[in-house]
């Protein structure tokens, strides 16, 4: 199977940085496209304007700041990519987006920014492994 599109979900963990580094070799050797994805926290639903828009702007600002180091890594390595900022829950969104975008491979970190200690795999990674429509390469 020819890999044409790789998705890289990121969350600012060291595992995400490792997955991005790992994806560079794939992108160069297979000449495939990269989809960089971040699932930001959910927008609030119980506050009204103008506070709602302020909260949304802050969430999107933080998400863009989180993405910038990953963008820079791909730019420095001459890798073209597109990106998506989507709302949580990450495990569900990653798999659904992979299906919609026709992703052939997901490369992601084994754990994310979760506060749950002692897990071998993060809960998002675990969910993606069981629901993804394509192979998942877990980097640790």
Written as one string, the DSSP assignment of 3-22 is --EEEEE--SSHHHHHHHHH
In 3D space, the residue among 19, 30, 27, 38 whose CA is nearest the CA of residue 79 turns out to be 27
Quick one: average pLDDT of 43-69?
92
Supply the mean pLDDT for the chain.
Answer: 90
**CA angle, residues 105, 93, 25, in degrees to nearest 5:** 25
Q: Which fold has domain 5-139?
A: Rossmann fold (3.40.50)
Q: How far apart are CA 74 and CA 72, in angstroms?
A: 5
Q: pTM to 2 decimals?
A: 0.88
Model pLDDT for residues 76-114, shown as the tens digit of each residue: 999 999 999 999 889 999 999 999 999 999 999 987 555
């Amino acid at each position: 199977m020819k890999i044409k599109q790789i998705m890289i979900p990121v969350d600012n963990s060291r595992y995400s940085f490792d997955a991005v580094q790992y994806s560079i070799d794939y992108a160069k050797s297979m000449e495939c496209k990269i989809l960089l994805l971040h699932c930001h926290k959910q927008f609030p639903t119980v506050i009204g304007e103008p506070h709602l828009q302020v909260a949304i702007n802050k969430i999107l600002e933080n998400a863009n700041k989180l993405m910038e180091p990953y963008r820079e890594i791909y730019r420095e390595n001459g890798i073209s990519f597109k990106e998506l900022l989507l709302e949580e829950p990450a495990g569900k969104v990653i798999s659904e987006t992979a299906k919609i975008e026709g992703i052939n491979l997901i490369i992601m970190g084994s754990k994310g920014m979760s506060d749950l200690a002692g897990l071998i795999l993060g809960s998002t990674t675990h969910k993606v492994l069981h629901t993804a429509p394509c192979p998942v390469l877990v980097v640790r």
